[in-house]
Structure 1
Amino acid sequence: MNLIKISYLLESEKKFPKMAISSNPTQDTQGLAGRKLVDRYNRNLNYMRISITDRCNLACIYCVPQKLIKKLPHEEILRYEEILRIVKLGVGLGIKKIRITGGEPLLRKGVYDFLAELVRIDGLCDVSLTTNGVFLAETVDKVLTAGIRRLNISLDTLNPNKFRYITGEDRLDAVWRGIQAAHQNGIHPIKINVVVLKGINDDELVDIARLSFSYPFHIRFIEYMPIGRTRKTIGEPILVPEIRNLLRPLGPLLPVENKIYDGPAERYRWEGAAGEIGFISA
């Protein structure tokens, strides 16, 4: 899976004036037939990740730096129409998979109508949503109505005190209710993203991984990648080989074959488990 990232902002209104939205749905993609997006290694790019907002209702210690990031003014944020135009252009160049992220995307006004329009774009094979899950229990019906069937949900701990320490908010119950609501409403796969933090949550990786025995979740253990100065001290990153070693008490891992539009995770499962786990290097 090769990825291209699209920002939610225009760097400067003077430098990059707002795009004119074509009234002809085929006009933007004329002349793209047969052309593909390729990187410098001549690999075709087929996966686009789009951040639609820089706002978030949590402040995770590995995400929000010590000096809080200044929020962008509304006029510097791409309109939904502009994002949809970019996606259509991307599809014309070989993009097949889209993931919507933030910030927290469910905070942005009009997001459900936008998702519904996005899912309807011809040529896309996979549209997924990344969320922290706080609002999901109350909004899962809207997510489903919009056509989203794949979710990535952040969950770094099962301990309420640690959750408050990591995110700055006491919302673990809300996140778990959101995960349960998504599961009960048939969303699949539900990917649980776990950033492994030395001295914080590395003592409960077995408990988190054990969820895959009872639920068909895809649990992804992600190496912590230091970015800037964080608000709290985080130890040196725990790399994938050590994460795997910490999970040895659960038994031998069985490899799971990656499919054409899968992400970067190395996939595994335990015998008899309903779900699977994966490892993502920084």
Structure 2
Amino acid sequence: MSAEILLRGRGITRRWGGLIAVNQVSLELERGKVHAVIGTNGAGKSTLINILSGEIPPSEGEVELLGQDISRWTQPRRARAGLGRSYQRNTIYPSFTVLENCRLAAQARAPRPWRLWESAVKCEVSAPAARDAAARAGLTDLLERPAGSLSHGQKRQLEIAMCLATSPQVLLLDEPLAGMGPEETERMLALLVTLKRDHAILLVEHDMDAVFRIADTITVMVNGSVIASDTPGAVRANLQVQAAYLGGH
């Protein structure tokens, strides 16, 4: 069975003056797979994910989503086309409920400005999408809770729920496990296993135990360049990776 590639990056390069932050990086995200990108601080991971999501343009290279060149598309246009993104820092609305946060995300995907007198809560498009997204992220029992009152792990789940409310096919997740305890980490990993069935997932993460447990492919970056991209077992055994990143273990 041939792989279904949902997102491709070809020869992605980003220069900041004389600094090359990302250097000729190519990768493919496949439906049903988690593709992790690892590297020390300054390796170029955040710049790469910002290019893929449309926050910054590449100096060179192409980004392709669902077979279409989106290299010059804005971030909102990419989001509407099926690209979801979470951030290292929480981007929720603390005073709004879980449901309201999800509904706002769903409305951004399918705005209905002509329905001026329609109650947002009763919107036949965004309201069901919001409830479904919250359910998929394991937040059904917390719909009416203010987002600011959630635990750290629940807030990270909410961010993923807000992504899901936009009906993405590709998820770009930037350190979703940051700051989590063991129980919250296990809950998030279980959620990612469920989500990858229907999505292609790019995971940027520093928790190496979690990465090697959940990733199907691992790309290792050093100083903006890829030094290895392979299965977890092959990456762990790679002598160059051990010397540059894993400390020889």
Which of structures 1 and 2 has the larger relative contact order (alpha carbons within 8 angstroms, sep 6+)? 2
Per the normalisation by structure 1, the TM-score is: 0.28
User: Rg larger in 1 or in 2?
Assistant: 1
Higher strand share: 2
Higher helix share: 2
